[in-house]
A and B are shown apart, each in its own frame.
Chain A
Amino acid sequence: MTTSTPSAGSAAGNALRRGRRRPVDSTVKVLLVAAALVSIATTVGIVIALVQPAIGFFQQVSIVEFLTGTSWTPTFAQKAYGVLPLVAATVVVTVIALLIAVPIGLGSAIYLSEYANRRTRKVLKPIIELLAGVPTVVYGFVALFALNPLLQDIWPGGRKPAFQNLLIAGIAMGIMIVPTIASISEDSMSSVPRSLREGAYALASTKMQVSTRVVVPAAISGIVAAVVLGISRAVGETMIVTIAGGLVSDKVTFDPLEGAATMTAFIANVSSGDIPVGSLDYDSVFAVGALLFLITFALNAVSIRMVRRFREVYE
């Protein structure tokens, strides 16, 4: 205390005063803000680009007809603009994909996090994540030209699946989203504190009980997030369903053995054809795109809410 004389105090004040500006610092800040703004501006731009033609579409086709109509034939002579066939096909493919991806993804995550030793995990996890990098067009072709013939061969009898069908597209898509679910779930399980596992083992739990009754519930927020992200990817995935899922959309079908166009498959297919800009068909692409955007937006909102509800806070 005796050293803090008035003169020492003012000397410290001088030393601490802002001497010169640091131009590098402020430049970096401007660049970083600009980078953040670019992604926001892009999102806003996409919404505007979607909304404008979609409004044009809904001036000619009522929203009720769009949402409740059971036939989607904009390219036919007899035009109909009911989006339900596309939605139904999307739902079927997504459900099949989840039936495949959730058990396999969660199983791999539990194995990697709880059963595999460190060396095995170090080798296996990057390999699984590598699967996520396979271009989806490859999955589409594998589904159509490898999986589908195989499915036809082993089909037990009765009505065989069509050449393009939702089942095969769903299976391929399921395999595609396994890495997403496995990797994020594994991250979430690995971050469950070791002390919780020890507590469970000390209560005479088996490894399976520790995994399923303690680790999985404790990691549930991450697992839910992983599954919802998987759903988002499935709903938005385009190449697999365009190649292997079929393009029929004149009626609503929940039959996985038939081919049918999903929302994304329709958009990809029609956009690649020659439709005059500004025509109703052109605008219909944007109407479907806007619906797709709303669905994924809602999914994300739901997932954020669920993650919050399930989240357990550790000290």
Chain B
Amino acid sequence: MSTVTYEPLHRRPQHQSEVTTVNHSSTTSRPAVSISAIADTQTAGHQATSTVPVMELSGVSVYYGAYEAVRDTSMPIQRKQITAMIGPSGCGKSTILRSLNRMNDLIPGARVTGSVTYHGQDLYAKDVDPIEVRRRIGMVFQKPNPFPKSIYDNVAYGPRVTGMKVDNMDDLVEKALRDAALWDEVKDKLKTSGLALSGGQQQRLCIARTIAVKPEIILMDEPCSALDPIATAKIEDLMFELANDYTIVIVTHNMQQAARVSHYTAFFTAEVDQEQERHGRLVEFSQTGKLFTNPADKRTEDYITGRFG
């Protein structure tokens, strides 16, 4: 199994078939391969560079009613870097992600304590408008959710509702679709429904829709979990490209994905307290290379070597 090697990080689409093979073999031999291979990829050139945090979580706990879903999370989000959140189901990684652009506001009874700052500004301060927050911090969801509108209108939706000053909407739509690596596939059918696309195309349409409003940060909640390996590879390629311009936070179930795409990784786990309630908790946050090769915490090591989760 030691002969299995990962593709270099800046994969091109023509390597799709190899990606499929890698994914397949890695599921069958996860512990042995992951650590060494990931270590290679990290030294191969995806080194974390920036140290300017654009967001900062400190002591963040999220409650649903009286239930504390995640407790006491503190971590930075570095500018123009990809930060991954990994961990077993129910560890609160999606909950934390949704607290970064106040999507939790939409869930009745959800409450956030501690502080989430964006350029030093408390996101949960009284005078903060969640609409303004979401204009700067966009989100891509687990299941592709294009609107039942044309491809063009899907992309133009955000600029229209936010009242962006747009000189030429056609250009903006084309740019967003190009940046989402979808333009060549849809340029002749912009008027057809976004729902007519394949799952992977739909997800890239959702990414195009998100970047059309020019956010600073893009949150991705398991964006590839509903996609096949080829579509997944395309989205991962896209993330590298997007990281030149955007700060990305991605929640993923797939450790290999976190290792491949991210500069920083946060590992969450679920703790069971005396009342048998599960609470998500951040175990370890560090540069991705370090977290996967030399984890500081025993629980992280157990998880990434496949001993649990």
Interface residues of A (CB under 8 A from B): 117-118, 193, 195-206, 209, 213-214, 217-218, 312-315
Contact = CB atoms under 8 A, between A and B. Distances in A.
Interface stretch (B9-17, B100-108, B247-255, B293-301): B100-108
Contacts of B145: 193, 195-196, 198-199
Interface string B138-158: 110101011111000000011
B20 interface: no
Contacts of A117: 108
A202 B218 CA distance: 10
A198 B106 contact: yes
Contacts of A206: 131, 161
Contacts of B193: 312
B82 interface: no
Contacts of B161: 200, 203-206, 209, 213
Contacts of B209: 199, 203
Contacts of B135: 204
Interface residues of chain A: helix, strand, loop or mixed (majority): helix
Nearest to A213: B161
B180 interface: no
A202 B149 contact: no
Contacts of A205: 131, 161
Given A204-B135, A206-B131, A218-B148, A199 B195 contact: no
Given A198-B141, A218-B147, A203 B195 contact: no
B206 interface: yes
Given A312-B193, A312-B195, A313-B195, A200 B143 contact: no
B162 A217 contact: no
Nearest to B102: A201
Given A202-B101, A203-B158, A313-B195, A217 B134 contact: no
A63 to B, nearest CB: 44
Contacts of B132: 204
A198 to B, nearest CB: 6
Residue among A199, A313, A314 having the largest count of chain B Cβ atoms under 10 Å = A199
Interface of B: 101, 103, 106, 108, 131-132, 134-135, 138-139, 141, 143, 145-149, 157-158, 161-162, 193, 195, 206, 209-210, 213
Nearest to B133: A204
A203 B162 contact: yes
Contacts of B162: 203-204
Nearest to B212: A203
A195 B148 contact: no
B206 A199 contact: yes
B141 A203 contact: no
B103 A203 contact: no
Most buried by B among A199, A204, A206: A204
29 contacts: A117-B108, A118-B108, A193-B145, A195-B141, A195-B143, A195-B145, A198-B139, A198-B141, A199-B141, A199-B145, A199-B206, A200-B147, A201-B106, A202-B139, A202-B141, A202-B210, A203-B157, A203-B213, A204-B132, A204-B158, A204-B161, A205-B131, A205-B161, A213-B157, A217-B147, A217-B148, A218-B148, A312-B193, A314-B148
Contacts of A313: 195
Contacts of B131: 204-206
Contacts of A209: 161
Contacts of A201: 103, 106, 134
A204 B141 contact: no
Contacts of B158: 203-204
Q: Nearest 10 pairs between A and B by C-beta?
A: A312-B148, A204-B135, A202-B139, A203-B158, A195-B145, A199-B145, A204-B134, A209-B161, A205-B161, A204-B162
A204 B213 contact: yes
A198 B148 contact: no
A198 B103 contact: yes
Contacts of A204: 131-132, 134-135, 158, 161-162, 213
A117 B158 CA distance: 26
A117 B109 CA distance: 12
A117 B108 CA distance: 9
Contacts of B157: 200, 203, 213
Query: Which of B106, B108, B143 has the most chain A CB within a 10 Å cutoff?
Result: B106
A117 B147 CA distance: 24
Nearest to B160: A213
Contact of B149 (A118, A193, A195, A217): A217
Contacts of B108: 117-118
B264 to A, nearest CB: 22
Candidate in A200, A203, A209, A218 with the most chain B CB atoms within 10 angstroms = A203
A197 B143 CA distance: 13
A193 B146 CA distance: 11
A200 B147 CA distance: 8
B157 to A, nearest CB: 6
Given A196-B147, A204-B134, A218-B148, 12 more contacts: A195-B141, A195-B145, A198-B106, A199-B145, A201-B106, A203-B134, A204-B131, A204-B135, A205-B131, A312-B193, A314-B148, A315-B195
A315 B226 CA distance: 13
A196 B206 CA distance: 11
Contacts of B103: 198, 201-202
A118 B107 CA distance: 12
